[in-house]
Amino acid sequence: MADQRISPDRFPIKARVRPGVGVLLLAAVAGCAGRAPQPVAVVQPQDRYADCPAIFAEVQANNQKIEDLAGEQGGKVAQNIAAGVVGLFIWPVWFGMDFQGAAGKEVDALNSRQQYLATLAEQRNCGSAAPVSVASSPQAVAPAAQSRVPPPVAPAPPGRAQ
């Protein structure tokens, strides 16, 4: 066992092409790791101009986004489990796993935004006519449960005094 180093002559790739192949391989592997999270800002510039209907409309839109992201998050968990199991036998499959958790981070940001919108609606005396968040998220339902707006009281029937 003399010299066990691999000589550059044994590789058919030219020396000037090797760095480019390395960069392409690195980009391909990095692209498999899932998408980058794009969380929504809690406070946005248009908030100071938002009236009650605009706040309620955004709450409804955020609820729909949270439901969509919950489905995506469940799909990614299943994909990661499958890739992990298959990766035990075929290791390159592990590059297809999503380690960024984009959907979870975006749901957390939307829940924070929902809490802020609930506070904003309370400050503007909008009442509690709009749901604050989806029921699957206990963090976002908390502001609605803490609302200080009293429930509406039905007037007494005519002819009866209180």
The three-class DSSP label of residue 150 is coil
Residues 53-88 pLDDT 10s = 999 999 999 999 999 999 999 989 998 999 999 999
DSSP designation for 128: S
Dihedral sign for Cα atoms in the order 51, 38, 138, 79: positive
The torsion of the CA quartet 17, 23, 26, 27, rounded to 10 degrees, works out to -120
Residue 137, H or E segment:
none
Residue 20, H or E segment:
helix 18-30
Tell me the CA distances in angstroms from 57 to 52, 125, 130, one per residue in order: 9, 16, 9
Residues 6+ apart with CB under 8 A from 117: 55, 58, 59, 62, 132
For 31-52, the DSSP string reads: GGG-PPP-PPPSS-GGGGG--H
φ/ψ of 84, rounded to 5, equals: -65, -40
Mean pLDDT over the full length of the chain: 76
CA distance 118 to 142: 10
Predicted confidence (pLDDT) at residue 52 exceeds the cutoff of 80: yes
Predicted pLDDT of residue 162: 45
Residues 6+ apart with CB under 8 A from 48: none
Residues 4-37 pLDDT 10s = 666 556 655 566 666 666 655 555 555 556 789 9
Residue 115 structure tokens: 């809490």
- Which pTM was predicted? 0.59
**Do the beta carbons of residue 70 and residue 107 sit within 8 Å?**
yes
